[in-house]
Amino acid sequence: MNQPIAKPLLRELSELCAQRLGLHFPQSRWSDLERGILSAASDLGFSDPVPFLQHLRSSPLTRNELDALASHLTVGETYFYRDRLAFEALETHILPGLIATRRKSEKRLRIWSAGCSTGEEAYSIAIAVSRAIPDLKDWNVTILATDVNPRFLQKASSGLYGDWSFRDGPPWIKERYFARTADDRYQLSAHIRRMVSFAYLNMAEDVYPSLQNNTNALDLIFCRNVLMYFAPDRAKRVIHHLYQALVEDGWFFVSPSEASHTQFSQFITVAIDNAFFYRKDHRQVLEPEAPSFPLVDTVRLSSSPIPASQEETQEPDQESLPSPALLAREYANEGKLTEARQWCEKAVAADRLNPGLHYLRSTILQELGILDEAILSLKRALYLDQDFVLAHFSLGNIAR
């Protein structure tokens, strides 16, 4: 494994990583690619990169192989309250505005830390939210944190950090929210850990926005130091999906080095105290690029637009109308849960033997806080399909 990888092979590996993981390795970063590939190959039992490449070319990657590649090709370089200006703007301007608006209605806040690495960013967001909402127990706050690297997610879930994770952050974070352990590390307070849910998500895959993985109807998305890993075309597609995942007037955070008026032209640029942020412009209408999420197993969204009113569709062909299930998912992904439930009930009534529809109904009911009916729908889904993994998983989560 000490022999250097030939340039033609590195070029092909670079293309494979772009296709399978969405990771961009230009020639200037081939040394990083080589180190990562050699380590991943060793983990997977290959003593030579050539047969490893042949294996990658000839068969779909298993989850274990994807995990090994992601673990060795991504770098976790983060710390608490990284980019102090961003968190100051979050606490003094952005969160107060969102909270004031949501307090008038449902007291609901949805945030996504996309590419969360080892969790410092997501927990920093949770700390900021807890400081901004004194009556937090009366709110429904969702903070989703996702990454493609399973080792990062495992560390993040532990909430256990060393001194390096607090470099350049405000001292009060460690003092107020952490307890020192016997081995001179720091354990995060349980109430902050409970605010964040960690999950695997490959941003190169078209599986978001979706109600099924909680990446829909978001008030705020952090996606910092992530887009730089993607090739330009892939980054553009990722930005498009993230734009769709936001509610109207939702906020989008990137790192200062990634800020670009050209790249984020569909957003409104907002300057706050010498820092730049992006906000979804509800006046623009973007057509979905492709369906994301089939109803069962791999979850995808529909590309069918929702008709604004019956009057606007002039005698359409019945076959061209979106199905109730597609409309239910579209409304759910936009956070319009009442409408989503209405259409889902119609879909279930029309096809009572479809376990995926009962699962969809349960997901919507969970978002509405109607847990008894949600559990009943999951049990119906499992009665129709005993091997429905997502239904088993969801039922287990409710039971906890």
Judge if 161 and 15 occupy the same domain. Answer: no
Could you tell me the CATH number of the domain that includes residue 386?
Answer: 1.25.40.10
Boundary (domain end) residue, out of 51, 73, 95: 73
Judge if 238 and 193 occupy the same domain. Answer: yes
Could you tell me the CATH number of the domain that includes residue 215?
Answer: 3.40.50.150
Judge if 90 and 50 occupy the same domain. Answer: no
Judge if 273 and 242 occupy the same domain. Answer: yes
Q: What is the pLDDT of residues 343-400, one digit of tens each?
A: 999 988 888 888 889 999 998 998 888 988 989 999 888 888 888 888 888 888 787 6
Which of 324, 336, 326, 339 lies closest to 300, judged by CA?
326
Judge if 151 and 250 occupy the same domain. Answer: yes
The answer to the question of residue 235 being in a domain is yes
Q: What is the pTM of this model?
A: 0.72
The tokens describing 362, both together, are 């349960």
Boundary (domain end) residue, out of 251, 280, 309: 280
Judge if 260 and 328 occupy the same domain. Answer: no
Could you tell me the CATH number of the domain that includes residue 59?
Answer: 1.10.155
CA distance 106 to 103: 7
Judge if 92 and 60 occupy the same domain. Answer: no
Span of 94-108, 147-161, 294-308 with lowest mean pLDDT: 294-308
The answer to the question of residue 287 being in a domain is no
The answer to the question of residue 140 being in a domain is yes
Which domain does 343 fall in, by range? Answer: 320-399
pLDDT of 338 > 60? The answer is yes
Judge if 124 and 62 occupy the same domain. Answer: no
Judge if 107 and 63 occupy the same domain. Answer: no
Contacts of 109 (CB under 8 A, 6+ apart): 98, 99, 102, 129, 133, 139, 140, 141, 142, 219, 220
The answer to the question of residue 294 being in a domain is no
Strands 108-114, 218-222: pairing is parallel
Amino acid identity for residue 133 in this structure:
I
Boundary (domain end) residue, out of 280, 311, 341: 280
Average pLDDT for the chain: 84
The number of distinct structural domains making up the chain is 3
Judge if 69 and 126 occupy the same domain. Answer: no
The answer to the question of residue 11 being in a domain is yes
The answer to the question of residue 286 being in a domain is no
Judge if 114 and 24 occupy the same domain. Answer: no
The pLDDT of residue 322 is 60
Judge if 333 and 374 occupy the same domain. Answer: yes
| Residue 332 pLDDT grade (very low, low, confident, very high; cuts 50, 70, 90) | confident
